[in-house]
Structure 1
Amino acid sequence: MAFRANVEGIPKAPFTSYGYGVYSISDLNGIVVDSQYSDAHDETGETLIPPSLSDFANTFVEDLRSVLDIDLDVSIADAAALDSIFLTVNESVEYLDASGARTAEGYTLTISPSGIVISGASPLGVWWGTRTLLQLAILSEGSIPVGQTKDAPGWGIRGMMLDVARHYYPPEFLVELCSYMSFFKQNTFHLHLSDNLYNNVNIYSRERSLELYARFRLWSDSEDVAGLNNHKNESYTREQFEEIQSSCAARGVTIIPEIEAPGHALAIVQWKPELGLSDDLSLLNISHPDTIPTMKSIWSTFLGWFHSKTVHIGADEYTADVGDYNRFVNAMAAHIRSASGKATRIWGTFPPRPEYGDENINSADVSVQHWAFFEDNPYHDYIRNGYAVLNSDDTFYTVNKWSGSYPQKVPIARTWNGDPATGGGIWHPHVFDTKDPANNPERSEPLVLGAVTPLWNDYGANASTYSEAYYVWREGIPALADKQWGGDLSEPAFFAALEKLHPLIPGQNLERAVESKGPVIFNYTGTTGVVDQSGNGYDATTSCPLTTESTWAIGPGCSFATPLRSKGRNYTLSLRLLVEDVFEDSATIIRGADSALMLTPNVTLFAAGTHFRLNATVPAGTWVDLRVVGRGDRTFASVRTTSLDAVLPGVGGSADAGEEVEEEFLARLGVNGEFFVWTPVAIEAPITELGGEGAGWTGQLASLGLTSEGGKSTRMGSPKHLLKLPNGKPLYQHQADILRTVLPGSKVYISLAQESPLDETLRSARRYSDDNSASCGFGNGELEVIFDPKVNSSAESKGPAEGLLSAYNTCPDATWLVVACDYPYVTSATLEHLVASYNSPVICFRNSEGFCEPLLGIWSPAALKRLAGNVARGKSGPAATVRELNGTMLSVPEGCEAWLVDVNRQADWEAALEKLATSV
């Protein structure tokens, strides 16, 4: 008996279960590559360096080792062996894309009681089959149902575009992004290699335009381009670009390079000013006799670097003469075809018109990447005139950190409601217009090449860190990948699968995660030496001597090093140190792979080529507790004077109340020369080395610690629960009143940290709680205070779980309606919506990123019991517990998005006060 089902991986794959048994991955003995095809390559795709079947097998075996902890050998034979994964090519099987054309990316995955066979239309198809197998193994916890998947993509180009021109990214970061994309079967990574900040001709002088940030990211020593790029330290040499392309190709991803002209060409005009249009130097003057020869020379220099069958010449947002523009595009396309045999792609800018006659762009050599309907109509202007079109419609555009018009994360909800032909159904790459179906071709239209979603760095290099680009795409890549492939994974199924798959994606650590048995990742003190006290075994090494006071004497002549490189979001880095002398302009306290903590002389984090400075300084000759805290997408630091013999706070713990003031690191964005915007910035913790050559300071280190939690917030200037609303009522009282309205006759509890300040109402409630042992059940709406357990060096903070567990310990048989103190827009309608929708064991609101807000929800005893168990095992995130329990994640009604807005900064609170005051 067989029945159809689906592999709820990403992308979703059709699956036929044979209805009996499972195959255990642990039974595998090896990987066998079919000898007939071991050296076969896919010649039909975009890459000119396709891996062989054996190459893919060797990458796959590394993934099995890192993801599933299975150590297998790869062998070559003419048949499968018992309990093996057999990789082969079967060209006789027809795999069809959405247009009905054959695709070499299809595969068949067969799970039998004796082993696994992946048969592909090509080695690339086999590779995609290995991605499905990995996901199956993760989702089934190693016991895969016996059955078969036959799968193929609907479209041949599936991927993302990154603006590396206005923000440099290291080669290894790009390679990690390819690994992330490949896991979800995306095959195209478009790199935008040259551009400039917006040249605001209304206010910029010629001199300012010629100094404006503009970059060409490829570095060549050729005399033909000498002076084009003067920033070698933030460029890609040929060897580096070769490594990027080959590493990405090893995982089935092709790099598509773009050199932008004749618009966005200020990097070229700054090199040769005579080539710029006089009224806008960012545009090339195509009529100048040297313009096209110069561009041909640039392309001739770099064409040999590129291992793709198509290259991108940009040709975006050119506002000068259309005849010159079309002549430029055709000349460049002809040159590129003649010099390299490659095809050309452009951004949709000037659609073909009958009056242009032979001056229209040559559709045989040039494909169009549509991006905005104010530039063109991709279906009516291009496809109906015989042009192949790639869908990059700005439906899914993102601009890093800030924009007046585009979001900062991929709006993934549109992948589930973006097809207007079905009344807001599943989006796929043939859907250019999410509102008017008349502007979209049929799904089977062969001139639709696929879809690539861009991320633009419109406001330059100092707006963000490297990893913030990944977080723009974190959920976007898998959500888009499912639909680009042709899948129709539902929203709940998507998030359920992503939660299980995400921690195990091979070939990358974009989140800079660090394994740890508990919240404390490492802890070193002078009295205990370099042996890590956390239990994780991250012992340090040092060449620095111990002083008579059991501190390490740090300086340029010695170093103190951990075995770790960097820690991503949500951490507290704590140092007790004494800075005796700073003898460089920029002293580096501690450095890591992604950042450095510096004194310039202000406390500074250096990351992604930018100094992010605070007002705070570290006084010389005084012991201080210096903390750097990462909380989500924000980063903070504090400096507190202390003494060497003062009791050390718990690693990551807060300082004594009233003595510590946090400051937030912010990015300062210049917007088109008109105004500035300050935005939060997420900076990784530098955790590799103190001291050493170039440190620029001398002093002593008494302790160094790192936790995986963001500590307690002090950045509001006042504890959040005591913030005053426009009517003078503290925020906690406002929320208590709402709780009493929604659940009349119930007790209201407020959970506070031990050291939390109290107003008179809370002091009275505390006295009541002290005098009356907590009793569960109905009351008269009275307020009781329950305190979180005292946090010390041996009992680290459990973060958001702390208050939930305090409630659970107080009344373990109660079902709790929970409201965090930092939601100022919560109303009785908010909580009534929760209560009316409640399904045991737990319910919470889903935020705009698709994740649970666990502190605005309802928790049953069973859910809290699971949370307590998870915390005991070192898993302290309530949101993860909600997902484990398949809890209900409730969408916010349209128009009520403010319910989920929390206040994390003084600016947030001031904005809330203004809105609340006007709403009264």
Structure 2
Amino acid sequence: MDDPKFGWQGMHLDVARHFMPLPFLYRFVDLLAMHKLNRFHLHLNEDQGWRFEVRKYPRLTTVGATRAETVFVPGSPGDGTPHGGFYTQDQLRALNAYAKRRGVTIVPEIDVPGHTRALLAAYPEFGEGAEGAEVPTGPGVFEEVLHLSDETMAMVEDVFTELLDVFDSPWIHIGGDECPTAQWERSDDAARLVRERGLAGVEGLQPWFTEHLRDWLAQRGRTTVGWDEIVDHGDMPEAVVMSWHGREPGRRALAAGHQVVMASNVPYYFDYYQSDSPDEPFAQPAPSSWQDVASFDPVAGVADEHLPNLLGIQGQVWTEFMTTPAEVEYMAFPRTCVLAEVAWSGPVEPSELEPRLRAHLRRLEAAGVNHRPLEGPHPWQRGGEGRRRRPDGHGPALTAAQIADLANY
């Protein structure tokens, strides 16, 4: 009888840093279903691009969906190639229905109130002095945030109204991560909002915003999900916390009564290197091997009485350095296979799993799924003269300072 360890068996895909063709989203759903993964967290906006059609705000896609080029490393030359794309509501509605028929729930994410440079490039009036902002070409955490006026809140509600019309998931992800307060601290308008709303300071603006959106979604029968920053300034009752800064924020949230999905960046971020070999394709600096995924215990340190609120686990694919579906598959597999094993049965000794994993990789090969061999980087996928290269093997080598910047990011 099927009896998985966790109810939430998820994978995330960022289509905002690099747009992925619609057929690949269908293929990704099939691959999740193949591995009995039942949640597809679809990350639809970022500073670097807006991918969801909002009919009331067409400039989100006519302006916010395209950037002039891509800069893989801050301070390095760009690739000189415009990048863009978005999905229509009808396309995503069909994808949602396709996923449901395969037992996969798509959990859409619109990330607010930070990571909104693409939004503000299209509609600067909703920001704190965002006039002239363009869609960024490179990675990073940008200080531009939403100005949380009544007009902005109405816009946010309009966007989520259209999102709810497309996706019927019980869970709606609102992001909430990496939201700087620097602009609010300098803004007289933000100071006025703080006074009007009876907040202690600008650090209260994001919790106020999250609480407002949580209640708005609850009135429409949906549950809010947010990255673990949503509880940095206190509890957010009835919101699901996705713990990405390791397990510790998740343990704290569980102790406070939250439901939690463990999405620890190490080892569940699959944009990280798959080994410390210099031949790995360019990725985020921290190595995270399939063996790490197998042996990592998401339950470690969680008190027994809090376990019922631990919904499950999730792997993340962020695409700053992945430009094609083939690159996504290479970084996602075999680690996604191992995540599925842990989601179903719990942590496993890598040496015990390896024979079964090798047999399973033959199935992926038969299905034409690009993946990293267990023996090491595939020759055609290697990162040029070592890992300190752009994904295509060209461009300048990274300096130590640039690597440190990426590690901090």
Instruction: Mark yes or no: TM-score above 0.5.
Output: yes
Quote the residue 2:215 is aligned against.
334
Q: Per-residue deviation at 1:441?
A: 3.1
Q: Specify every segment of 5 or more residues in structure 1 that has no aligned partner in the other structure, as ranges.
A: 1-149, 197-213, 419-426, 432-436, 513-567, 570-629, 637-663, 677-920
Partner Cα separation in structure 2 for residue 193 and residue 371 of structure 1:
18
Is 1:241 aligned to residue 92 of structure 2? yes
Quote the residue 2:245 is aligned against.
372
Is this contact kept in 2: 1:261–1:314, CA < 8 A?
Answer: yes
Is this contact kept in 1: 2:333–2:370, CA < 8 A?
Answer: no
Partner Cα separation in structure 2 for residue 325 and residue 299 of structure 1:
17
Is this contact kept in 2: 1:179–1:507, CA < 8 A?
Answer: no
Is this contact kept in 2: 1:180–1:508, CA < 8 A?
Answer: no
Among 418, 425, 430, the alignment partner of 2:299 is 430
Is 1:264 aligned to residue 115 of structure 2? yes
Quote the residue 2:53 is aligned against.
219
Partner Cα separation in structure 1 for residue 293 and residue 382 of structure 2:
28
Distance 1:669 1:346, change over 3 A: farther
Partner Cα separation in structure 2 for residue 341 and residue 155 of structure 1:
23
Where in structure 2 are the equivalents of 1:446-461 lying within 5 Å? 446-458=308-320
Instruction: Report the residue type matching 1:151 in the other structure.
Output: D
Among 283, 290, 293, the alignment partner of 1:412 is 290
Distance 1:447 1:172, change over 3 A: same
Q: Per-residue deviation at 1:458?
A: 3.3
Q: Give TM-score scaled by structure 1 length.
A: 0.34
Q: Per-residue deviation at 1:238?
A: 1.9
Partner Cα separation in structure 2 for residue 337 and residue 248 of structure 1:
24
Distance 1:668 1:173, change over 3 A: farther
Where in structure 2 are the equivalents of 1:596-745 lying within 5 Å? 631-634=379-382, 666-668=393-395
Partner Cα separation in structure 2 for residue 443 and residue 470 of structure 1:
38
Q: Per-residue deviation at 1:373?
A: 5.2
Partner Cα separation in structure 1 for residue 3 and residue 323 of structure 2:
37
Q: Per-residue deviation at 1:331?
A: 1.2
Q: Per-residue deviation at 1:316?
A: 0.8
Distance 1:503 1:240, change over 3 A: farther
Distance 1:457 1:416, change over 3 A: closer
Distance 1:417 1:501, change over 3 A: closer
Quote the residue 2:326 is aligned against.
467
Partner Cα separation in structure 1 for residue 397 and residue 85 of structure 2:
21
Q: Please identify, of 235-244 and 263-272, the stretch whose mean Cα deviation from structure 2 is larger.
A: 235-244
Partner Cα separation in structure 1 for residue 23 and residue 357 of structure 2:
24
How many residues end up aligned between the 2 structures? Answer: 334
Note the alpha carbon deviations across 1:679-721, whole angstroms, 9 max, x for none.
xxxxxxxxxxxxxxxxxxxxxxxxxxxxxxxxxxxxxxxxxxx
Partner Cα separation in structure 2 for residue 298 and residue 670 of structure 1:
41
Q: Per-residue deviation at 1:347?
A: 0.7
Partner Cα separation in structure 2 for residue 194 and residue 670 of structure 1:
29
Q: Per-residue deviation at 1:502?
A: 2.9
Note the alpha carbon deviations across 1:456-489, whole angstroms, 9 max, x for none.
1235xxx532211111111111111111112454
Partner Cα separation in structure 1 for residue 102 and residue 122 of structure 2:
37
Distance 1:386 1:634, change over 3 A: closer
Q: Which has the larger radius of gyration?
A: 1
Q: Per-residue deviation at 1:171?
A: 1.9
Q: Per-residue deviation at 1:377?
A: 2.5
Partner Cα separation in structure 1 for residue 332 and residue 4 of structure 2:
21
CA-based RMSD: 3.4
Partner Cα separation in structure 1 for residue 352 and residue 87 of structure 2:
40
Instruction: Report the residue type matching 1:176 in the other structure.
Output: R
Q: Specify every segment of 5 or more residues in structure 2 that has no aligned partner in the other structure, as ranges.
A: 67-83, 131-141, 182-201, 273-280, 385-390, 404-409
Among 51, 61, 64, the alignment partner of 1:229 is 61
Q: Secondary structure at the match of 2:5?
A: coil
Among 308, 315, 324, the alignment partner of 2:169 is 308
Is this contact kept in 2: 1:153–1:486, CA < 8 A?
Answer: yes
Distance 1:194 1:308, change over 3 A: same
Distance 1:350 1:186, change over 3 A: closer
Partner Cα separation in structure 2 for residue 445 and residue 273 of structure 1:
44
Is this contact kept in 2: 1:218–1:237, CA < 8 A?
Answer: yes
Is this contact kept in 2: 1:415–1:480, CA < 8 A?
Answer: yes
Where in structure 2 are the equivalents of 1:56-205 lying within 5 Å? 150-196=1-47
Is this contact kept in 2: 1:399–1:406, CA < 8 A?
Answer: no
Q: Per-residue deviation at 1:343?
A: 1.0
Instruction: Report the residue type matching 2:50 in the other structure.
Output: F
Note the alpha carbon deviations across 1:188-220, whole angstroms, 9 max, x for none.
111111002xxxxxxxxxxxxxxxxx2111124
Quote the residue 1:349 is aligned against.
229
Instruction: Report the residue type matching 1:368 in the other structure.
Output: V
Distance 1:373 1:492, change over 3 A: closer
Among 449, 462, 484, the alignment partner of 2:343 is 484
Q: Secondary structure at the match of 1:267?
A: helix
Note the alpha carbon deviations across 1:4-61, whole angstroms, 9 max, x for none.
xxxxxxxxxxxxxxxxxxxxxxxxxxxxxxxxxxxxxxxxxxxxxxxxxxxxxxxxxx
Quote the residue 1:851 is aligned against.
none
Higher helix share: 2
Give the % identical residues: 23
Q: Give TM-score scaled by structure 2 length.
A: 0.72
Quote the residue 1:106 is aligned against.
none
Is this contact kept in 1: 2:294–2:339, CA < 8 A?
Answer: no
Q: Per-residue deviation at 1:509?
A: 3.3
Q: Secondary structure at the match of 2:340?
A: helix
Structure 1 residue ranges, 4+ long, deviating more than 6 angstroms after superposition? none
Quote the residue 2:189 is aligned against.
none
